[in-house]
Structure 1
Amino acid sequence: MKAITFEGIRKIKIAEVPEPRIQDSRDVIIRVERGALCGSDMHVYNGRETGIDEGTVMGHEFTGTVMETGKEVSNFKQGDRVASPFTLNCGDCFYCKKGLSARCEKSRLFGWVENGIGLQGVHTKYVRVPFGDSTLVKLPDEISWETGVLMGDNFPTGYFCAEMAEIKPDQTYIVIGVIGCGPIGLMTIISTFLQGAENVFAVDLLQNRLKKAKQLGAIPINTNDKSWKEVVNEYTEGRGFDGVMEAVGSAATMKLAFDMVRPGGILASVGVQAYEQLPFNPPGLYDKNITMKFGRCPARSYMEKLIPLVQKEQLDLTTVITHTFSLEEGVEAYRLFDEQKDECIKVLLKP
């Protein structure tokens, strides 16, 4: 079967790879119906995260149809529609039971094989999912494959980020900044409104992303505009944002988040951190009295409550999808997403 494989920094190709088979009685084989590119795929693509073996199938966002199940699988049968988080979850360890599935003791990330050990990705036709019963989630018929892709990573991550910022509808201030208006940032904006925020500012350098954020109800701030500090001060009486959510993972955006949050505020970050040291020092933290929260979203722990929320609110999450490619066009899809050409925000793949 065809797959998009990693061949080196900024090198991927469409290759023939073996079809997966049941290796454990808890495995499920999925036919991929939709896949998607994620910003963290670009960390691998550009070499910001190293170690992945050449020939590894890329990707970790997908929805699909159950094709085969191991003997111990009881929650799924052939033909079921499913969504998946981006990591495996055993369902039985200390962290899974605590609702912190991102730290599952047996977790592995789809699309990461290092020194021959790991899990192949989902940018292909069929995928093996270990711990199928505790990893996969049934996707209701009324939720599209496209929306389902966003339920396994982007939307839970945005919702998780908003929760870390402790937005409460009974608070009267609630002036929130979201830094980075890619797919995660846009999902964070949607989530802040769902959780009760009234004044949400979207911070980015790209006008097309700010335009999308404005359509979602946020007030755009382009940091290329030298007057952005005046805008922040005007809306916050010179204090800074009560909460800042960082959805990029660079030193520059983290420093911006620190500068924008008010004393006593909350800085929440879900961007995959691609630098070694924080761009501010302990005395600065001490002087601002801020609370900082970081971490990978426990997507599997959120999916079962967010799927009903999408149904109830009739949310159109697919507004962030700007481009769709076939699997055979995968090299071009990665290039476009990496270069952010043609006002690209979110790229979908159809195997």
Structure 2
Amino acid sequence: MKALCWHGKEDVRVDTVPDPKIENPRDAVIKVTATAICGSDLHLYDGYMPTMRAGDVLGHEFMGEIVETGSAVTNLKKGDRVVVPFTMACGSCFFCQRSLFSCCDNSNPNAKIAEEAMGHSPSGLFGYSHMLGGFSGGQAEYVRVPFADVGPYKVPAGLPDEKVLFLSDIFPTGYMAAEQADIEPGDTVAVWGCGPVGLFAIKSAWMFGAGRVIAIDTVPERLKLAEAQGKAETIDFMNVTGSVYDRLQDMTKGRGPDRCIDAVGAEAHGLGSTPAILDKVKAAVGLGTDRPTALRQAIMCCRKAGTVSVPGVYVGFLDKVPMGAFVNKALTMKTGQTHVHRYLKPLMEKIEKGEIDPSFLITHRLPLVDAPKAYKTFRDKQDGCIKVVLKP
């Protein structure tokens, strides 16, 4: 089959690889009908994620049609259309029983590698390094899905792929970010990053009762979408009088936003401040992995006793994080890979009822063979690219 494979920094190729097979009674094999490039895939493309190996199949946002199931999978049958959570979950461990699916104890066969880096291992992930399981991803014609008796969610008849594909990751991720922000009715919510996750966080903030949403970015197409689809006020951080902090203080009469969401993560752009310059220098010479400009700003801007929610992906160790401000302002921070399984049913219902059409952010629809070019276009924010959907 054809699959998009990682071969090094900025080097992804469509290769011919062996077809996946059932390896465990709880497996399923699906024919991929739609897959997408996620912002967190760019951390692999840019070489920031350790334990990648040449030939690894990428992709963790995908859906498709069941073609084969293992003997223990009784909830699915050949021909079922399913959307697949990017986080894997066994369904029975301490964490899965508490609906903390991305913390699953049993789905990462390489847990010891993750434990060395993080203290404990999160769940296995599709197409996202050997530290997180070494599983082949879904930017391919076919994919093996472990724990298929727990993960894949059937798509109701009549819903096209593009309306449900993002239930695999970015819609639940943005929704969980808003949920973890502890939004109270009337709150002012500031969202750093108007990429796909940020846009879903903006839409979700309204669902939780926000009174005002302010979006921070600099890409014109993203800011326009945040305004048009997200009904957000916007700040262009490259064209703001003073600083983002100054502008947010003006907009909130000196109090600061009640809830701040960092939907940027490891590769934030700085504006020439000393910490931002150091981030870039360290990353360039291999002494650092993360550029946490957005997180620093969120901590400094958030009102006292507010909440900072972080759906943005971080890879390793962060420098110059203002912990003094975090502690002395009595802030709460909530983070985590998304517990996708928890949100599939309620968010699918919102789509069915017409409360949201997640396809609003798709700008590019391309065949899988064009994936290498699409990665560069998406990374470099060319051609108005906000979200790429690939058809194998």
Question: What is the TM-score when the length of structure 2 is the normalising length?
Answer: 0.85
Q: Check the 8 A contact 1:53/1:115 in 2, yes or no.
A: no
Contact 2:12 2:372 in 1 (8 A): yes
Instruction: For residues 273-326 of structure 1, give each alpha carbon's deviation from its aligned partner in whole angstroms, at most 9, with x where no partner exists.
Output: 145125333322232111111211111221122111222243111111111110
Partner Cα separation in structure 2 for residue 65 and residue 239 of structure 1? 50
**What 5-or-longer segments of structure 2 have no aligned partner?**
108-123, 267-291
2:137 pairs with 1:124 = no
Tell me the residue number matched to 1:35: 35
1: distance between equivalents of 2:227 and 2:206?
A: 13
Hey, what's the Cα distance between the residues in 1 that align with 2:133 and 2:343? 28
Question: What one-letter code is carried by the residue in structure 2 that aligns with 1:126?
Answer: Y
**Distance in 2 separating the partners of 1:278 and 1:117:** 27
Deviation, structure 1 residue 115: 8.8
Q: Is the 8 A contact 2:164 2:358 kept in 1?
A: no
- Aligned partner (choices 305, 310, 325) of residue 366 of structure 2: 325
Contact 2:128 2:134 (C-alpha < 8 Å) held by counterparts: yes
Partner residue in 1 for 2:211: 198
Which residue, out of 237, 249, 254, partners 2:265?
249
- Superposed counterparts of 1:136-215, under 5 Å: 136-169=152-185, 172=186, 174-215=187-228
Partner in structure 2 of residue 218 of structure 1: 232
The 3-state SS of whatever aligns with 2:341 is helix
1:284 pairs with one of 316, 325, 337:
325
Q: Which amino acid aligns with 2:343?
A: Y
The DSSP-based 3-state class of the residue aligned with 2:304 is strand
1:244-264: per-residue Cα shift (whole Å, max 9, x none)?
Answer: 001011311111111221111
Shift of 1:52: 1.1
Please report the RMSD computed on the Cα atoms of aligned residues, expressed in angstroms.
1.6
Q: Which amino acid is 2:348 matched to?
A: I
Question: Would the alpha carbon gap of residues 111 and 84 (structure 1) be closer, same or farther in structure 2, given more than 3 Å must change?
Answer: same
Q: The residue matched to 1:123 in structure 2 has which SS?
A: coil
Instruction: Report if aligned partners of 2:188, 2:257 keep a CA contact under 8 Å in 1.
Output: yes
Q: Secondary structure at the match of 2:63?
A: strand
Partner SS state of residue 43, structure 2: helix
Partner AA of 1:90 in structure 2: C
Q: Runs of 5+ in structure 1 lacking a partner?
A: none
Structure 1 position 72, deviation (Å)? 1.2
In 2, Cα distance between equivalents of 1:8 and 1:240: 42
Paired letter, 2:263: A
Q: Distance in 2 between matches of 1:340 and 1:282?
A: 32
Show CA shifts across 1:25-75 (max 9, x none). 111110000000001111111111121111011111101001111111111
After superposition, the Cα gap between the structure-2 partners of 1:270 and 1:113, relative to the gap in structure 1 and judged at 3 Å, is closer
**Cα 1:24–1:260 shift into 2, 3 Å:** same
1:339 match: 380
Q: 1:256 to 1:83 in 2, by over 3 A?
A: same
Alpha-carbon distance between aligned partners in 2 of 1:319 and 1:158, rounded to the nearest angstrom? 14
- Structure 2: distance between partners of 1:87 and 1:286: 31
Amino acid at match of 2:294: T
1:60 paired residue number: 60
**Counterpart of 1:308?**
349
**Separation (CA, whole Å) in 2 of partners of 1:345 and 1:85:** 21
More strand by share: 1
- Mapped partners of 2:23, 2:248: distance in 1: 55
TM-aligned CA deviation for residue 234 of structure 1 = 3.1
Aligned partners of 2:239, 2:63: CA distance in 1, in Å? 40
Residues 87 and 338 in structure 2, CA contact (< 8 A), matched pair in contact too: no
Whole-angstrom distance in 1 between the partners of 2:29 and 2:196? 28
The count of aligned residue pairs is 348
- What secondary structure does 2:13 align onto? strand
Matched, 1:238 2:254: yes
What is the identity, as a one-letter code, of the residue corresponding to 2:311?
A: V
Retained in 2: the 8 A contact 1:252–1:279? no
Secondary structure class of the residue paired with 2:373? helix
Q: What SS does the aligned partner of 1:119 have? A: coil
Partners of 2:340 and 2:305 lie apart in 1 by 28
Alpha-carbon deviation of 1:230? 4.9
Q: CA shift at 1:168, angstroms?
A: 2.8
- 1:254 and 1:279 in contact (8 A); partners too: no
- CA deviation profile, 1:124-158 (whole Å, cap 9, x unmatched): 11111111010111111232211222111001000
Q: Distance in 2 between matches of 1:307 and 1:116?
A: 27
SS of equivalent residue, structure 1 residue 325:
strand
TM-score (norm 1): 0.95
2:109 is the alignment partner of 1:109: no
Give the percent of matched residue pairs that are identical in Structure 1 and Structure 2. Answer: 38
Residue 91 of structure 1 deviates from its aligned partner by: 0.8
Q: SS at 1:131's partner residue?
A: coil
182-191 or 292-301, which deviates more: 292-301
Using the alignment, how far apart are the partners of 1:196 and 1:116 within structure 2? 35
Q: C-alpha displacement at 1:117, in angstroms?
A: 5.9
